[in-house]
Structure 1
């Protein structure tokens, strides 16, 4: 099975900032992994933010932060 990532989703994920809390304003890729694990254990928010946080946790667990940082550089937010 070949998984093809959604380019638009990855670009949005690369540029999305945490909207609240201790890490408000930080890019999701800059959130500490233990913070994302806490969300996983406590319950992710509903909607888009929760989906993006889940995706970011998977990216961090698999050591793919470099991919997100490359997207940030190659596809600047307009």
Structure 2
């Protein structure tokens, strides 16, 4: 996990699907869990979704709050 990855979670948006346009850090846990079961997309998006899933699964979303204020 890199600092840039965490910044990406609070700035990049979901490019497709039901939650298209929503910031990755704001994706609901059940949606992230679906990707964990079905498979994350390849590339950077998949990496970021997997990271967000781990953050959500371990109840660490509050760690991203300071980054939202930057």
Q: TM-score, normalised by structure 1?
A: 0.81
* Mapped pair 1:7 → 2:3: yes
Query: 2:67 is matched with which residue?
Result: 71
Q: Secondary structure at the match of 1:22?
A: coil
Q: Which one of the candidate residues 48, 52, 69 is aligned to 1:52?
A: 48
CA RMSD of aligned residues (A): 1.2
Q: Deviations over 1:11-39 (max 9, x none)?
A: 11221110111101111111111111111
Deviation >4 Å, runs of 4+: none
The structure with more radius of gyration: 1
Query: Structure 1: which 5+ runs fail to align?
Result: none
**Number of residue pairs aligned between Structure 1 and Structure 2:** 70
Q: TM-score, normalised by structure 2?
A: 0.89
Which structure features the higher share of helix residues? 2
Distance in 2 of aligned mates of 1:42 and 1:67 = 26
Distance in 2 of aligned mates of 1:38 and 1:63 = 17
Query: Structure 2: which 5+ runs fail to align?
Result: none
